[in-house]
Amino acid sequence: MKTSDNIKRKFFISSLAVIVVLGVFYGCSKSSNSNPTAPSSNSPGANQVLMQNSSFVPSSITVSPGTKVTWINKDSYAHTVTSGTPGNPTGLFDSGNINSGGTFSYTFDSTGTFQYYCKIHPDIMQGTVTVK
């Protein structure tokens, strides 16, 4: 029964090899898994402002001319991004209502200090974009 033993041994060894290979692949696919939740992280990226807990985060940013700034609504309710100060909109930009998860972008071509606010929460939501 030597041949049969050899076959059993080969089968056992190749089974082990398959298990090891699968384990390595599984381990790799777990560790090399790119982070699909990155876009919904709670930190603003470059030239991004979050609307979070009824605040603009960060409330002031500085960019160079020609930069597109994107606001992202992280709250479960609507906000606006409206240029000017409460009661005195400048008309430069006004997002209208941005629902939960929605975004608004504006490209700042000229230098200056641009104040903006949320029309829904004007007392607590104000921010500034400085372009220089």
**Residues of the shown chain interacting with Cu ion in the complex, contacts defined by CB under 5 A:** 79, 118, 120-121, 125
- Return the number of the residue (34 or 76) whose C-beta is nearest Cu ion: 76
Q: What is the nearest approach in angstroms of Cu ion to the Cβ of residue 97? A: 9
- Return the number of the residue (101 or 112) whose C-beta is nearest Cu ion: 101
Question: In angstroms, rounded to a whole number, what is the distance separating the alpha carbons of residues 73 and 3?
Answer: 70
Q: What is the nearest approach in angstroms of Cu ion to the Cβ of residue 60? A: 17
DSSP 58-110: SSEEEE-TTEEEEEEE-SSS-B--EEEETTEEEEEEE---B-TT-EEEEEE-S
- Return the number of the residue (16 or 124) whose C-beta is nearest Cu ion: 124
Q: What is the nearest approach in angstroms of Cu ion to the Cβ of residue 57? A: 12
- Return the number of the residue (53 or 110) whose C-beta is nearest Cu ion: 53
Q: What is the nearest approach in angstroms of Cu ion to the Cβ of residue 79? A: 3
ω into residue 89 within 30 of 0, thus cis? no
| Cβ contact 117:127 at 8 Å | yes
